């Protein structure tokens, strides 16, 4: 018997879909751009563009099987988790640092949903969090250099 309703875990994992996360980041980028933070908006967009450029080759290189599909490969790292982290934290950094806890919750809920649905192993999610933090760090470094 499932302890978390299927619909809830599915909705949680969907928070990492591009169709959900990207509009959040795009709205935050537009907000930052209108407020004169053009470099920050640009680097947030570049950070999001870097996610598939990093995740896809890592999936191919590791060829990790999935929890429910051991014959399939390409589960490590989790692209949905990296997408969620970069989009939601990027949006929080662009709009208001007070939104960082919301970004953390959305990212944690995404990763939890992916594990509960059997789409990823916990290590896939953890690796993506590390990758996302690295991408955001590089992005914020670029923002500081261009505005400082």
Q: What is the pLDDT of residues 81-117, one digit of tens each?
A: 999 999 999 999 999 999 999 999 999 999 999 999 8
Q: Which of the residues in the chain have pLDDT under 70? A: 1-4, 142, 144-148
What's the distance, CA 59 to chain centroid?
A: 15
Q: pTM score, two decimals?
A: 0.90
Give which of 87, 16, 97 is closest to 47, Cα–Cα. Answer: 87
Distances (CA, A) of 35 to 46, 100, 135: 19, 19, 24
Where does the chain have alpha helices with state H?
6-14, 18-34, 38-62, 79-95, 100-116, 122-147
């Amino acid at each position: 018997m499932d302890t978390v309703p299927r619909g809830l875990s599915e909705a949680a994992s969907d928070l990492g879909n591009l169709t959900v996360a990207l509009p959040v980041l795009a709205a935050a980028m537009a907000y930052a751009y209108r407020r004169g933070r053009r470099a920050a908006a640009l680097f947030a967009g570049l950070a999001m563009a870097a996610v598939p450029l990093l995740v896809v080759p890592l999936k191919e290189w590791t060829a990790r099987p999935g929890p429910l599909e051991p014959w399939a490969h390409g589960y490590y790292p989790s692209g949905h988790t990296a997408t969620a982290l970069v989009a939601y934290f990027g949006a929080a950094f662009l709009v208001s640092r007070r939104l960082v806890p919301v970004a953390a919750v959305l990212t944690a809920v995404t990763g939890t949903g992916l594990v509960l649905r059997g789409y990823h192993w916990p290590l896939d999610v953890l690796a993506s969090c590390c990758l996302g933090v690295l991408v955001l760090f590089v992005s914020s470094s670029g923002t500081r250099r261009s505005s400082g």
